[in-house]
Structure 1
Amino acid sequence: MDPLDIMLNLEKITLYYKPVISADTQLVDGYEVRAYFQENDGTLQSLDWFFEDATIPDDFRIELTHYIHQRALEVFAVQEQSKHLALFYDLRLLVRDNGQSLLTLLESEKIKGLDFKKIIIEIKEAHIPEKMDGIRKFTTYLKTLGIRVAVDVEQRNGSLNRLAMLAPSMIKVDTGFLKDDSLPHLFQDVHHSLGMLSRKIGAALLFKGISSYNQLNYAWRNGGQYYQGSYLKDSQPVFAEENCCQAKIKADFQNFVMFERKKVKAQLDLTNRINGLFKTMLPTIKPGVPYDEMIRSIGKSCSDFVFRVYICNGEGIQLSSNAEKNNKGEWELHQEGRNKNWSWRPFFFENIMRMNVEKKGILSDLYTDIEKTELIRTYSYPISEALYVFLDIPYGYLYEQDGLL
């Protein structure tokens, strides 16, 4: 498609509006503007490529951006929309006119009655330059006008520092990497940092590209306040009804809650089972017994659901060997684990403190074991005020139990 053909036939551009759904109300909270060009055969082609092609003159891209924004704002005003409207702005054009084209348009629409609080300017994190002074001044000015700023983080390794400095009102992330046959918990750490950052700076987390039940579940479990994608409601040339997918999302949310309750119950049942086992087993272990003898005894008592046992002190130093079950079901000692320091593990000291206070064991989240390269859980239990035993539970056992994966 020739960029010049587009600029000479702006009347062939059709605007679509992609709904943004609120998790709080399950209602449409706003719309993202998308632009398409109608070919001679009637087919519509997305114009996203136009703004990504650096060979297209800046004047063309600025003019097309202005045209799309102006038309969208006019439709928005005529229909007296109460929701918000998200407009994409290419930050790379900022150096060309300092954003004056956009600001002039917004100010002119404000005179006609546009409420700036309904407008979101969306930018891409990948377009943010290393030297951010100009960008920060621009986004700060938008905020002073009451306009919100959203940052689309297309790459999962995007710069958290740049996001923190801009402090947007919304952070957009994509669920497209998560396929239908994937297990959502495998990717929990992918957006953990973004979720933490969004809470610290007061930004809402929006998950886009949701095309399946699995992806909506992932967004729900990872703190998404807003959702967007074809699984809910795809973009269309009119503003979608406010409650267009409320019933669907409510039903899915109910399933999510039921599944999470089932998981929590399964984890509590396993925790209580092991706690009870330790209360009857520990008194049978003679005082002063060597640590390696103790873990071998514990391993044999828990052999049907554990493959590795070891003991650490409160500083994270491993005092025992690793007692590991081999393929024959026999327990062997591996000396290389002794004296390793596990204090670097996330939540290690938090769990130590919890065990000291609650006087009971803790079951970890799912994580990938470095040596076995498979998903496992670890159960930790306080065997004294200074000693803690750790039991690694294999994927095979977790898979067989309902609700532990």
Structure 2
Amino acid sequence: MNAIEETKPKQYVPLLQPIFSVEEQTVIGYESLGRVRDEKGSLVVVPEFLDPHVTPLRMTMIDRELLRLSLTNIKDTSDQLFVNMSPDQVILEYEESKGNSLPIAEIVQESGIPLDRIVVEITEKSGSYGTDVLAAGVELLREQGFRIALDDVGSESSNLERLGAIKPDIIKIDLNHLKKSIEKREYQSILEYLKQISLSIGSQLLFEGIETEEELYQAVSSGATFLQGYFLGRPLQYREDKQIIKDVVVPHLHLYHESKRNEVAKEIEFEKQIKSKLTTLPLKTITLGDRVIIDPQSFFKLDPLIQRVYVTDWQGTQVSPYYERTSESGFVENMSFLQKNWSYMPFFYKHVKQVFRDSGNWQVSDPYWDKTLKKKVIVFSHVNEMGYSFFVDLVLEEG
């Protein structure tokens, strides 16, 4: 490469990937993904984006140029624009600020686009500064009017400390990165955990990396407000017709909701059948000192899905042996859990609450993953006339 080629200015091109709102049932914005045109005229990833040694200043100069170009694409629309910024770039914005105005804010304001239409995605890269410093820089962005997203949450490189400190408006989860880094069961559990975190801090979930119908269903089931990925639309130089994307996604969402309604109906019917069987049993107890004796055989004869039976007192302390199925008709009596307190389990106080509402009927928990059985388990519970709580664990069949 000669000197003239080395000094030739690069032609940066932002590609726009659509972001679909589950709530609004349409595309509400685009993520700007930087590309550069090479000597053959092809669009390739900006080399600096792949270089771990590139300085924050150099990266910022490139990103600002891409931002200016991206803004022209959404200027005459109401679309939101998602732009990436590393932790070190956030601090650089603060250091280069003039008064209360950040350089990125001035660029956006020059375009005439309101700042609240720009979502700054804080990337998963580690920074040169602590979380507290990063949080202060992010807060300044927020004060300017920008919305904040935290990228790649749940992947191996992300940390929950940053999530708690920033409290982003949007939590981005890449399904593909997540699946590659963890086992399937842990993958499901982490999605449920992130869903609960988003609810607790008031964040919305954006699932990216959606490439199949199954992944779209997984995202919606896990609380997605926004969807992004090749299944919805690839990064392009232009804004794809929203109606085209809507015509692809909305029918799948309708199928998902129909499937969920059928699933709920089956769950309710299953619960009714089990409750009907359990209601036939007299919940007799015999107290011997600090131990309670029951008839476990009557439970295991009721249904092959029943795996465990035990009894606690009102405080949640187990007072009966732990009866566990071993075969079609056999079970063992496990004494090791006597006096163990189960009140810390999520289903226990749900059971208490339901008893207060309706003490005459069997209650049922939400399904949870049982590490010992390696299956989903649902817990049926009831309080007998002596005040003892019966807990019956059933495994849920797959599918």
Q: Does TM, scored on the shorter chain, surpass 0.5?
A: yes
Task: State the distance in 2 between where 1:358 and 1:94 align.
Answer: 54
AA at the equivalent of 1:15: P
Q: Tell me the secondary structure at the aligned position of residue 198 of structure 2.
A: helix
Aligned to 1:393: 394
AA at the equivalent of 2:130: K
Task: State the distance in 2 between where 1:187 and 1:248 align.
Answer: 27
Task: State the distance in 1 between where 2:391 and 2:9 align.
Answer: 66
Deviates more, 1:24-33 or 1:310-319: 310-319
Q: Tell me the secondary structure at the aligned position of residue 14 of structure 1.
A: strand
CA contact (8 A) 2:308 2:323 kept: yes
Q: Tell me the secondary structure at the aligned position of residue 339 of structure 2.
A: coil
CA contact (8 A) 1:126 1:153 kept: no
Matches within 5 A, 1:131-280: 131-156=130-155, 158-177=158-177, 187-280=187-280
Aligned residues: 390
Aligned to 1:370: 371
Q: Tell me the secondary structure at the aligned position of residue 35 of structure 1.
A: strand
Aligned to 1:93: 89
Deviation at 1:178, TM superposition (A): 6.5
Deviation at 1:319, TM superposition (A): 1.3
Deviates more, 1:250-259 or 1:357-366: 357-366
Within the alignment, does 1:115 sit opposite 2:114 as a pair? yes
Within the alignment, does 1:106 sit opposite 2:102 as a pair? no
Deviation at 1:348, TM superposition (A): 1.8
Task: State the distance in 2 between where 1:385 and 1:50 align.
Answer: 72
Deviation at 1:9, TM superposition (A): 5.1
Task: State the distance in 2 between where 1:22 and 1:342 align.
Answer: 41
Cα distance change, pair 6–275 in 1 and its aligned pair in 2 (3 A): farther
Unaligned runs of 5+ in 1: 400-404
CA contact (8 A) 2:105 2:144 kept: no
Q: Deviations over 1:142-179 (max 9, x none)?
A: 22322212111344464444333323222211111566
CA contact (8 A) 1:18 1:32 kept: yes
Within the alignment, does 1:45 sit opposite 2:44 as a pair? yes
Q: Tell me the secondary structure at the aligned position of residue 279 of structure 2.
A: helix
AA at the equivalent of 1:60: R
CA contact (8 A) 1:126 1:154 kept: no
Cα distance change, pair 248–124 in 1 and its aligned pair in 2 (3 A): same
Task: State the distance in 1 between where 2:7 and 2:25 align.
Answer: 41
Task: State the distance in 2 between where 1:95 and 1:125 align.
Answer: 15
Matches within 5 A, 1:322-361: 322-327=322-327, 329-359=329-359, 360-361=361-362
AA at the equivalent of 2:378: R
Deviation at 1:73, TM superposition (A): 2.1
Task: State the distance in 2 between where 1:336 and 1:63 align.
Answer: 64
Cα distance change, pair 289–140 in 1 and its aligned pair in 2 (3 A): closer
CA contact (8 A) 2:377 2:393 kept: yes
CA contact (8 A) 1:313 1:386 kept: yes
Task: State the distance in 1 between where 2:354 and 2:337 align.
Answer: 25
CA contact (8 A) 2:93 2:103 kept: no
Deviates more, 1:29-38 or 1:4-13: 4-13
Deviation at 1:238, TM superposition (A): 0.4
Q: Deviations over 1:287-342 (max 9, x none)?
A: 64777752423323324221221112222211111222223532332222322222
Deviation at 1:387, TM superposition (A): 1.6
Task: State the distance in 2 between where 1:300 and 1:292 align.
Answer: 18
Task: State the distance in 2 between where 1:183 and 1:246 align.
Answer: 33
TM-score by length of 2: 0.85
Aligned to 1:402: none
Cα distance change, pair 10–292 in 1 and its aligned pair in 2 (3 A): farther
AA at the equivalent of 2:25: Q
Task: State the distance in 1 between where 2:354 and 2:344 align.
Answer: 17
The percentage of counterpart residues that share the same residue type is 20
Task: State the distance in 2 between where 1:27 and 1:57 align.
Answer: 38
Deviation at 1:22, TM superposition (A): 0.6
Task: State the distance in 2 between where 1:215 and 1:197 align.
Answer: 21
Deviates more, 1:21-30 or 1:153-162: 153-162
Q: Deviations over 1:252-282 (max 9, x none)?
A: 2222222222222222222222222232221
Cα distance change, pair 316–128 in 1 and its aligned pair in 2 (3 A): farther
Task: State the distance in 2 between where 1:5 and 1:189 align.
Answer: 55
Task: State the distance in 1 between where 2:111 and 2:274 align.
Answer: 68
Task: State the distance in 2 between where 1:18 and 1:72 align.
Answer: 11
